[in-house]
Amino acid sequence: MALSRIQRGTHPAIHDILALRECFSNHPLGMNQLQALHVKALSRAMLLTSYLPPPLLRHRLKTHTTVIHQLDKALAKLGIGQLTAQEVKSACYLRGLNSTHIGEDRCRTWLGEWLQISCSLKEAELSLLLHNVVLLSTNYLGTRR
């Protein structure tokens, strides 16, 4: 459902993305099963260098994703409302959303959706968090220019 919404140019609902979680815990989209080119593309999407050997890229992505997941849990406890406008934009950017041309309210909404997804995931499903950069950002209002 999430993929068909994205293909139609609409923003997927959180429950549609979470319905895909099993696809990202094992073959072919589980963290340990991703192909080298896929790992490189995800590294670029997460603003990490993609010019390392695939085993190092995979390790770096796992570490980066685990750190973001831990930050997400802490941020969810703190509450997005405690963040300044610049902190919200920085948090979105760290998670792959180019928030340059998006208003603060929309950034807060997007970050809230991201946190709902992230905080629902188990460690074995963190590949979905990496792919969430694409799933949650592709058709988000204001990101197309």
Say which amino acid occupies 127: S
User: d(Cα 13, Cα 42) in Å, to the nearest integer?
Assistant: 22
In 3D space, the residue among 115, 95, 99 whose CA is nearest the CA of residue 107 turns out to be 99
All structural domains of the chain with their residue ranges: 2-137
Question: What's the pLDDT score for residue 125?
Answer: 94
- Cα 9 to chain center, whole Å? 18
User: d(Cα 25, Cα 47) in Å, to the nearest integer?
Assistant: 23
- Please enumerate in sequence order all residues whose Cβ is within 8 A of that of 83, keeping only pairs 6 or more positions apart, or say none: 75, 91
User: Tens place of pLDDT for every residue, the chain, 145 residues?
Assistant: 555 665 666 778 888 889 888 889 988 899 999 999 999 999 988 888 889 999 999 999 999 999 999 999 999 999 999 999 999 999 998 898 888 888 999 999 999 999 999 999 999 999 999 998 888 876 665 544 4
- Cα 56 to chain center, whole Å? 20
Question: What's the pLDDT score for residue 46?
Answer: 84
